Structure 1
């Protein structure tokens, strides 16, 4: 075997592996990306329950909270600072739930705008599920079931590209809107 043939064989063997690992990294980053509001939850609740200074934690969340305040018409930064200063863990948790509700709304709006791009829409819906999971314990059993069911309907409405086109299901924008409305109705009291 010549060096040329050896290099060609090596390229043929490692090329698919490099491609697969690149796809896996891209998918895992998109699916499990950092969520500052989720990551800071325990720190904020601990600061509130133990009377610690939470200003540094809140400062690290200023961009995320500011975005939600501006685009989703919720007031979060000042009430969170006040709740933490007052050692109000219950109030802090309620405000975090309000922030998570706004994040769910944000992700579902993005998914709605990307219904033609299955992967993007799916990642956004799955990310909204991470926020919903944190809210669920504060809901009644019936509301938990309704919220889970509505989110499952949202996921179903984005369609499915199938495997090589087999089993493909187109996105259903009307079903998406209805399921999103049902979910947000359950979360409205937050």
Structure 2
């Protein structure tokens, strides 16, 4: 009986670990990290080697190519890959910086479209700022005052989102006009600094992506899906087996 009890406990641990691992798999990544910006930094590291490692830089870029194509069209990726093929280090880095500016524009544009969604807007702004952080050394080297202004405007943009508070406590009214003002200063400055003719971005909205991710995050708890019943069925069968076995032992 003790062995059976031990087996039962181990099985419970396995089931709970299984469901927890599924839940973890659908959790969000670091909200303050932007993948495209991280890829730029990794590519810069490879290209700054002696000699520049174009092969590894290309492999790193390929990890975000699909995302870039989806949101910004295929032209940015084609330009980067062409520069890598031609082994033009500075052109690769220059084009990647332009992609980062477009990515900031995309994030800010989607905040404006979904301004009343505080949590989403705050997360997107964090990603936009993380992208700017990758560009900051370039901006600061050319114009330290502009770099400070950019940081101030990102802070103002954050303040403009307000705060819904908790049960009314700490509530702060949002200000979309202030956000638009900071957005305009940030994008106009970056467009000029990095020589972009246009900041037009793709037509895919961030809100649709957020909704998809939210659905995925809850997927493991959706009992309408057969696979999510398996741990429960196993648990019920084991409990039933233990009960039947115990009753038979008592009779004998």
**Shared fold per TM-score greater than 0.5:** yes
Q: Does 1:83 align with 2:86?
A: no
Aligned-partner Cα distance in 2 for 1:120–1:155: 12
What corresponds to 1:45 in structure 2? 44
Contact 2:104 2:131 in 1 (8 A): yes
Does the Cα contact within 8 Å between 1:48 and 1:84 map onto a contact in 2?
no
- Flag the 1:42–1:144 CA change in 2: closer, same or farther, 3 A: closer
Mapped to 1, the partners of 2:82 and 2:46 lie a distance apart of: 12
Q: Which has the higher contact order (CA 8 A, sep 6+)?
A: 2
Which string of whole-angstrom CA distances, capped at 9 and with x for unpartnered residues, describes residues 64-109 of structure 1? 2212433xxx941122123223333322222121111111111111
Contact 1:100–1:131 under 8 Å retained in 2:
yes
Evaluate the alpha carbon distance shift between residue 102 and residue 125 of structure 1 in structure 2; reply closer, same or farther with a 3 A threshold: same
Counterpart for residue 162 of structure 2:
159
Any unmatched runs of 5+ in structure 1?
A: 1-21
CA positional deviation for 1:37:
1.7
Q: Equivalent residue of 2:54, what SS?
A: coil
* Match for residue 172 of structure 1 among 149, 172, 175: 175
Question: Which residues of 2 match residues 139-154 of structure 1 at below 5 A?
Answer: 139=139, 140-154=143-157
Checking the alignment, whether the CA contact within 8 Å between 1:51 and 1:85 is kept in structure 2 is: no
C-alpha separation in 2, matches of 1:42 and 1:168: 37
- Distance in 1 separating the partners of 2:29 and 2:66: 21
> Residue 97 of structure 2 aligns with which residue?
97
**Counterpart Cα distance in 2 of 1:52 and 1:93:** 11
Per the normalisation by structure 2, the TM-score is 0.57
Deviations 1:164-187 (A, max 9, x none): 312311211111111100111110
- Partners in 1 of 2:29 and 2:64 — Cα distance? 20
Query: Which has the larger Rg?
Result: 2
Match of 1:3 in 2: none
Query: Shift of residue 47 of structure 1?
Result: 4.8
User: TM-score, normalization: structure 1?
Assistant: 0.73
Q: Is the 8 A contact 2:68 2:77 kept in 1?
A: yes
Q: Please name the residue that 2:125 is paired with.
A: 125
Equivalent pairs counted in the alignment come to: 162
